A and B are shown apart, each in its own frame.
Chain A
Amino acid sequence: MLEEIGFVDVRVGAPCDTFGGASGEKNARVFEVYGYPFLARKPT
């Protein structure tokens, strides 16, 4: 979707186990949910 809008140089960083040890961990594991940092640039 980012590229569809026009963003370029899209990068995705390493996953974080955001929900590990929290009560939402069970659902997160079922759907392999992790947090990620994203970076994208609007062209000049």
Chain B
Amino acid sequence: MSTEPPVDPAALREEVKSKYRDVARNPHGEFHFHTGRRLAKRLGYDDAVVGRMPDAAVESFAGVANPFALQALAQGEKVVDVGSGAGFDCFIAAQQVGPDGRVVGIDMLDEMLHKARASAQQMGLANAEFRAGLIEEMPIEDGWADVVISNGVINLCADKKKAFEEIWRVLRPGGRLQFADIANGKPVPASAIQNIDLWTA
């Protein structure tokens, strides 16, 4: 089996940046996916928890499922959110791990990082911080994380093996990967996989 990415990773990254920059700037715009509070409800997030968040913390949420559905985080855990966007899952995580825990969100878009930092400050979350970076090269030391979370991000990486290997690097032995992502039940034709425009359409 070929280990070559099906599309050029750098070109796909630029396509993804363009799409999600729009989600940051214009969260109520027309996208092929749901966003914000409506999406959080659809994916089964706790209404009471989401309801306490300010609009700016929720409106650019564009996940695909709930990474906390199979297991909640424990008090005091150290968490990395890969592709944290405007911070929605980080804010959920920060509440679950409590003041003795720590959450680091990583995103490649300045627009998302700016929104996330502003919302964390507005919510008074001292245990959450946001760093610029890529999933393939995270600004996190080896074995730091008890848990890595992610939501709708790995499917947008051309080289998934490299992404999972980097997650492995930052997890401590015994640590958990809790991620949400899409999967298809019917095969997608090779011609479609090689069409970079369809990855974010």
Q: Which residues of A contact B (CB under 8 A)?
A: 1-2, 4-7, 11, 13-24, 27, 30-44
Contact = CB atoms under 8 A, between A and B. Distances in A.
Give the top 9 A-B pairs by smallest Cβ distance, nearest first: A32-B185, A24-B32, A35-B65, A35-B64, A37-B69, A44-B174, A31-B184, A39-B70, A44-B173
Instruction: Tell me what chain A mostly uses at the interface: helix, strand, loop, or mixed.
Output: loop
Contacts, number: 119
B186 A36 contact: no
Contacts of B66: 16, 37
A27 B63 CA distance: 17
B41 to A, nearest CB: 11
Contact of A18 (B65, B165, B173): B65
A32 B186 contact: yes
Given A5-B165, A41-B174, A27 B180 contact: no
A35 B152 contact: yes
Interface residues of B, number: 42
Contacts of A41: 174-177
Contacts of B21: none
Contacts of B58: none
Given A18-B42, A22-B31, A38 B71 contact: no
B181 interface: yes
A16 B71 CA distance: 16
